[in-house]
A and B are shown apart, each in its own frame.
Chain A
Amino acid sequence: GNSVTQMEGPVTLSEEAFLTINCTYTATGYPSLFWYVQYPGEGLQLLLKATKADDKGSNKGFEATYRKETTSFHLEKGSVQVSDSAVYFCALLNQAGTALIFGKGTTLSVSS
């Protein structure tokens, strides 16, 4: 079945550093891909998504490109802020297309 693997954390960066959080997937076909973010004490929020191969999702300075050649959907941001400190989850549809499968999450900690 479909599955997603994302890099283990925590990721610790200084403010204004470049961020990459790796996410790779195994899937039948080309399912939609998502990044969700969980700020401390809150539920998950959709950060961005891409619904087909080669699409780029973007939001709040974050970007991720759906790359079918490498089966990846890496999350990037050019200059992180302290307020970006959170847990980031990569996700994709299950094989039936009926539910999301989440990665284990990557904790990002940004210091000033």
Chain B
Amino acid sequence: DAGVIQSPRHEVTEMGQEVTLRCKPISGHDYLFWYRQTMMRGLELLIYFNNNVPIDDSGMPEDRFSAKMPNASFSNLKIQPSEPRDSAVYFCASSLTGVVTDTQYFGPGTRLTVL
């Protein structure tokens, strides 16, 4: 298996632009997680899905952020409009079952820079 795939790996955009980050989880994994990593706040869970349904989006910072999972093999995280404080590394992770003690497999991350 190729593991969790994220694209793009790097994104540089200007303030006010829409940003779309993409994730393909490991096939057969029922859970998908979006995290944001910054120096100041560390690794934060933004939202997670079970069987394509958002379960907990309490970590989404504000309405500018949205995430969807239209099918079992794809999810996207959108920021519209983007702001410089959104600059961070965004990770997607997936796990096999609903048991959270199950290992989460992380993608390589997307490094977002908003100018």
| Chain B residues with a Cβ under 8 A of chain A | 4, 33, 41-43, 45, 48, 55-56, 91, 93, 100-101, 103-104, 106-109
Contact = CB atoms under 8 A, between A and B. Distances in A.
A98 B97 CA distance: 11
A103 B42 contact: yes
A45 B42 CA distance: 16
A48 to B, nearest CB: 11
Contacts of A45: 106
Nearest to B58: A99
B45 A99 contact: yes
Interface string A64-103: 0000000000000000000000000100010001111111
A43 B91 contact: yes
Contacts of B106: 43-45
Contact of A99 (B41, B42, B48, B109): B48
A35 to B, nearest CB: 12
Given A99-B33, A99-B45, A105-B42, A41 B108 contact: yes
Indicate the member of B41, B106, B108 with the most A CB atoms within 10 Å.
B106
Indicate the member of B56, B91, B104, B109 with the most A CB atoms within 10 Å.
B104
5 contacts: A32-B101, A41-B108, A43-B109, A98-B48, A105-B43
Contacts of B42: 102-105
Interface string A32-72: 10000000011111100101000000000000000000000
A45 B56 CA distance: 23
A9 to B, nearest CB: 12
B23 to A, nearest CB: 11
A32 B101 CA distance: 7
A93 B103 CA distance: 12
